[in-house]
Amino acid sequence: MPDQTTLYTMPGTCSLAANIAIAWIDAPVAIRNMAYGDHKKDAYLSINPKGKVPAIRFADGDVLTELSAILAWLGAEHGGDGYARDTRLGRREAEALSYMTTEVHGAYGPHFAPQKFARSEGAQEEAKLAAYDRLAEHYQRLDQDLSSSGGDWYLGDRSFADAFLYVLVRWLDQTPLSLDDYPALATHRNRMEADAGVKTALARQAMEPMTAG
Protein backbone atom coordinates (compact mmCIF):
# COMPACT_ATOMS: atom_id res chain seq x y z
CA MET A 1 0.00 0.00 0.00
CA PRO A 2 1.45 3.42 -0.92
CA ASP A 3 2.32 5.90 1.82
CA GLN A 4 1.03 8.77 -0.31
CA THR A 5 -1.47 9.48 -3.06
CA THR A 6 -0.01 8.37 -6.40
CA LEU A 7 -1.02 9.06 -10.00
CA TYR A 8 -0.15 6.30 -12.47
CA THR A 9 0.74 7.54 -15.93
CA MET A 10 2.25 6.27 -19.17
CA PRO A 11 3.91 8.20 -22.02
CA GLY A 12 1.60 9.36 -24.82
CA THR A 13 -1.64 8.82 -22.93
CA CYS A 14 -4.41 11.06 -21.67
CA SER A 15 -2.96 10.72 -18.18
CA LEU A 16 -0.83 13.72 -19.16
CA ALA A 17 -3.85 15.94 -18.49
CA ALA A 18 -4.01 14.84 -14.85
CA ASN A 19 -0.23 15.21 -14.58
CA ILE A 20 -0.50 18.82 -15.82
CA ALA A 21 -3.38 19.53 -13.43
CA ILE A 22 -1.29 18.31 -10.49
CA ALA A 23 1.56 20.60 -11.54
CA TRP A 24 -0.77 23.59 -11.96
CA ILE A 25 -2.31 23.36 -8.50
CA ASP A 26 0.79 21.91 -6.80
CA ALA A 27 -1.22 18.99 -5.46
CA PRO A 28 0.61 16.61 -3.09
CA VAL A 29 0.37 13.67 -5.49
CA ALA A 30 3.32 11.49 -6.52
CA ILE A 31 3.72 10.54 -10.18
CA ARG A 32 4.44 6.92 -11.11
CA ASN A 33 5.23 6.82 -14.83
CA MET A 34 5.09 3.28 -16.20
CA ALA A 35 6.71 1.90 -19.33
CA TYR A 36 4.29 1.08 -22.13
CA GLY A 37 2.92 -2.40 -21.55
CA ASP A 38 3.16 -2.29 -17.76
CA HIS A 39 -0.52 -1.31 -17.67
CA LYS A 40 -1.35 -4.88 -18.71
CA LYS A 41 0.83 -6.57 -16.08
CA ASP A 42 -0.48 -8.05 -12.84
CA ALA A 43 1.11 -5.41 -10.63
CA TYR A 44 -0.92 -2.63 -12.23
CA LEU A 45 -4.01 -4.74 -12.91
CA SER A 46 -4.24 -5.28 -9.16
CA ILE A 47 -4.62 -1.49 -8.90
CA ASN A 48 -6.81 -0.91 -11.96
CA PRO A 49 -8.30 -4.08 -13.47
CA LYS A 50 -9.35 -2.03 -16.52
CA GLY A 51 -5.68 -1.94 -17.53
CA LYS A 52 -5.82 1.74 -18.43
CA VAL A 53 -4.28 4.97 -17.20
CA PRO A 54 -4.69 7.26 -15.45
CA ALA A 55 -5.48 5.89 -12.03
CA ILE A 56 -4.95 7.45 -8.63
CA ARG A 57 -4.26 5.23 -5.63
CA PHE A 58 -4.74 6.84 -2.25
CA ALA A 59 -2.74 6.16 0.89
CA ASP A 60 -5.63 4.12 2.29
CA GLY A 61 -5.57 1.86 -0.78
CA ASP A 62 -8.67 3.28 -2.43
CA VAL A 63 -8.38 3.77 -6.21
CA LEU A 64 -9.99 6.33 -8.51
CA THR A 65 -10.00 5.83 -12.28
CA GLU A 66 -11.34 7.73 -15.31
CA LEU A 67 -9.69 11.01 -16.22
CA SER A 68 -12.71 13.27 -15.77
CA ALA A 69 -13.33 11.84 -12.28
CA ILE A 70 -9.67 12.31 -11.33
CA LEU A 71 -9.66 15.91 -12.56
CA ALA A 72 -12.88 16.62 -10.65
CA TRP A 73 -11.33 15.21 -7.46
CA LEU A 74 -8.12 17.19 -7.93
CA GLY A 75 -10.04 20.42 -8.38
CA ALA A 76 -12.34 19.79 -5.42
CA GLU A 77 -9.60 18.61 -3.05
CA HIS A 78 -6.64 20.78 -4.01
CA GLY A 79 -7.76 23.44 -6.48
CA GLY A 80 -9.31 25.95 -4.11
CA ASP A 81 -12.16 28.27 -5.04
CA GLY A 82 -10.94 28.60 -8.62
CA TYR A 83 -11.92 25.00 -9.34
CA ALA A 84 -15.24 24.87 -7.52
CA ARG A 85 -18.01 23.28 -9.54
CA ASP A 86 -20.59 25.79 -8.26
CA THR A 87 -18.98 28.61 -10.25
CA ARG A 88 -19.66 29.44 -13.88
CA LEU A 89 -16.14 28.39 -14.88
CA GLY A 90 -16.44 25.19 -12.87
CA ARG A 91 -19.71 24.25 -14.54
CA ARG A 92 -18.36 24.99 -18.00
CA GLU A 93 -15.18 23.07 -17.24
CA ALA A 94 -17.23 19.99 -16.32
CA GLU A 95 -19.18 20.32 -19.56
CA ALA A 96 -16.06 20.79 -21.69
CA LEU A 97 -14.27 17.84 -20.11
CA SER A 98 -17.31 15.62 -20.59
CA TYR A 99 -17.35 16.47 -24.30
CA MET A 100 -13.61 16.04 -24.76
CA THR A 101 -13.26 12.80 -22.80
CA THR A 102 -16.30 11.09 -24.28
CA GLU A 103 -17.05 12.33 -27.78
CA VAL A 104 -13.62 13.46 -28.98
CA HIS A 105 -11.56 10.83 -27.17
CA GLY A 106 -14.13 8.22 -28.12
CA ALA A 107 -13.87 9.13 -31.79
CA TYR A 108 -10.23 8.01 -31.68
CA GLY A 109 -11.29 4.39 -31.12
CA PRO A 110 -10.90 3.25 -34.75
CA HIS A 111 -7.54 5.03 -34.95
CA PHE A 112 -6.02 3.46 -31.85
CA ALA A 113 -7.67 0.02 -32.11
CA PRO A 114 -9.29 -0.53 -35.54
CA GLN A 115 -9.48 -4.28 -34.90
CA LYS A 116 -12.17 -3.61 -32.31
CA PHE A 117 -14.41 -1.98 -34.92
CA ALA A 118 -13.97 -4.23 -37.98
CA ARG A 119 -12.49 -7.63 -38.82
CA SER A 120 -10.97 -7.32 -42.28
CA GLU A 121 -8.11 -4.96 -43.07
CA GLY A 122 -10.22 -3.20 -45.67
CA ALA A 123 -13.07 -2.63 -43.25
CA GLN A 124 -10.64 -1.43 -40.59
CA GLU A 125 -9.25 1.13 -43.00
CA GLU A 126 -12.78 2.33 -43.76
CA ALA A 127 -13.45 2.66 -40.04
CA LYS A 128 -10.30 4.75 -39.60
CA LEU A 129 -11.20 7.04 -42.51
CA ALA A 130 -14.68 7.56 -41.09
CA ALA A 131 -13.11 8.35 -37.71
CA TYR A 132 -10.87 10.99 -39.26
CA ASP A 133 -13.90 12.65 -40.84
CA ARG A 134 -15.59 12.75 -37.46
CA LEU A 135 -12.45 13.99 -35.75
CA ALA A 136 -12.12 16.81 -38.29
CA GLU A 137 -15.58 18.00 -37.23
CA HIS A 138 -14.62 17.85 -33.56
CA TYR A 139 -11.38 19.76 -34.07
CA GLN A 140 -13.18 22.41 -36.10
CA ARG A 141 -15.59 22.86 -33.21
CA LEU A 142 -12.77 22.96 -30.65
CA ASP A 143 -10.91 25.53 -32.73
CA GLN A 144 -13.99 27.71 -33.08
CA ASP A 145 -14.86 27.45 -29.37
CA LEU A 146 -11.31 28.39 -28.40
CA SER A 147 -11.31 31.34 -30.77
CA SER A 148 -14.69 32.51 -29.45
CA SER A 149 -13.30 32.45 -25.91
CA GLY A 150 -10.51 34.83 -26.86
CA GLY A 151 -7.96 32.31 -28.07
CA ASP A 152 -5.83 32.13 -24.92
CA TRP A 153 -7.69 29.50 -22.89
CA TYR A 154 -10.52 27.22 -23.94
CA LEU A 155 -13.03 28.71 -21.50
CA GLY A 156 -11.60 32.21 -21.39
CA ASP A 157 -9.74 31.50 -18.14
CA ARG A 158 -7.31 28.63 -17.63
CA SER A 159 -8.96 25.39 -16.54
CA PHE A 160 -8.32 21.66 -16.61
CA ALA A 161 -10.07 21.65 -20.00
CA ASP A 162 -6.90 23.21 -21.40
CA ALA A 163 -4.84 20.32 -20.06
CA PHE A 164 -6.92 17.75 -21.92
CA LEU A 165 -7.21 19.92 -25.02
CA TYR A 166 -3.41 19.85 -25.19
CA VAL A 167 -3.52 16.04 -25.15
CA LEU A 168 -6.01 16.06 -28.01
CA VAL A 169 -3.81 18.42 -30.03
CA ARG A 170 -0.86 16.05 -29.51
CA TRP A 171 -2.95 13.12 -30.76
CA LEU A 172 -4.03 15.04 -33.85
CA ASP A 173 -0.41 14.89 -34.99
CA GLN A 174 -0.76 11.08 -35.33
CA THR A 175 -3.60 11.37 -37.84
CA PRO A 176 -3.82 12.60 -41.46
CA LEU A 177 -5.31 15.83 -40.09
CA SER A 178 -3.12 18.93 -39.99
CA LEU A 179 -2.84 21.36 -37.11
CA ASP A 180 -2.31 24.08 -39.73
CA ASP A 181 -6.06 23.89 -40.40
CA TYR A 182 -6.82 24.85 -36.80
CA PRO A 183 -4.93 28.09 -36.07
CA ALA A 184 -6.44 28.71 -32.63
CA LEU A 185 -5.43 25.21 -31.52
CA ALA A 186 -1.92 25.74 -32.87
CA THR A 187 -1.59 28.94 -30.84
CA HIS A 188 -2.94 27.17 -27.76
CA ARG A 189 -0.39 24.39 -28.23
CA ASN A 190 2.42 26.95 -28.22
CA ARG A 191 1.02 28.67 -25.12
CA MET A 192 0.78 25.35 -23.29
CA GLU A 193 4.31 24.31 -24.15
CA ALA A 194 5.65 27.60 -22.79
CA ASP A 195 3.90 26.89 -19.48
CA ALA A 196 6.11 25.76 -16.58
CA GLY A 197 3.55 23.23 -15.32
CA VAL A 198 3.23 21.62 -18.74
CA LYS A 199 7.01 21.39 -19.03
CA THR A 200 7.17 19.72 -15.63
CA ALA A 201 4.44 17.22 -16.52
CA LEU A 202 6.05 16.33 -19.85
CA ALA A 203 9.38 15.67 -18.14
CA ARG A 204 7.73 13.55 -15.44
CA GLN A 205 6.04 11.48 -18.14
CA ALA A 206 9.16 11.08 -20.31
CA MET A 207 7.55 13.04 -23.15
CA GLU A 208 8.83 15.79 -25.41
CA PRO A 209 7.04 18.98 -26.51
CA MET A 210 5.66 19.05 -30.04
CA THR A 211 7.56 22.22 -30.88
CA ALA A 212 11.32 22.59 -31.02
CA GLY A 213 13.14 24.84 -28.61
* Ordered per-residue pLDDT tens for the chain, 213 residues: 557 999 999 999 999 999 999 999 999 999 999 999 999 999 999 999 999 999 999 999 999 999 999 999 999 999 988 787 788 899 999 999 999 999 999 999 999 999 999 999 999 999 999 999 999 999 999 999 999 999 999 999 999 999 999 999 999 999 999 999 999 999 999 999 999 999 999 999 999 999 854
Question: Do 122 and 180 lie in a common domain?
Answer: yes
Q: Say how far apart CA 201 and CA 79 lie, in whole Å.
A: 17
- Helix (H) or strand (E) holding 63, with range, is strand 63-65
- Helix (H) or strand (E) holding 7, with range, is strand 6-9
- In this structure, what DSSP letter does residue 150 have? T
Question: Do 77 and 124 lie in a common domain?
Answer: no
pLDDT at 84: 76
209 located within any domain: no
How many domains does one find in the chain?
2
pTM assigned to the model = 0.96
pLDDT at 82: 77
161 located within any domain: yes
Question: Do 97 and 171 lie in a common domain?
Answer: yes
Task: Say how far residue 152 (Cα) sits from the centre of its chain.
Answer: 18
Tell me the CA distances in angstroms from 193 to 38, 46, 144, 177, one per residue in order.
27, 34, 21, 20
pLDDT at 212: 59
Question: Do 53 and 99 lie in a common domain?
Answer: no
11 located within any domain: yes
Q: The CATH number of the domain where 55 resides is what?
A: 3.40.30.10
On the question of a cis peptide bond just before residue 54, with omega within 30 degrees of 0, the verdict is yes
Domain enclosing residue 19, as ranges: 6-81
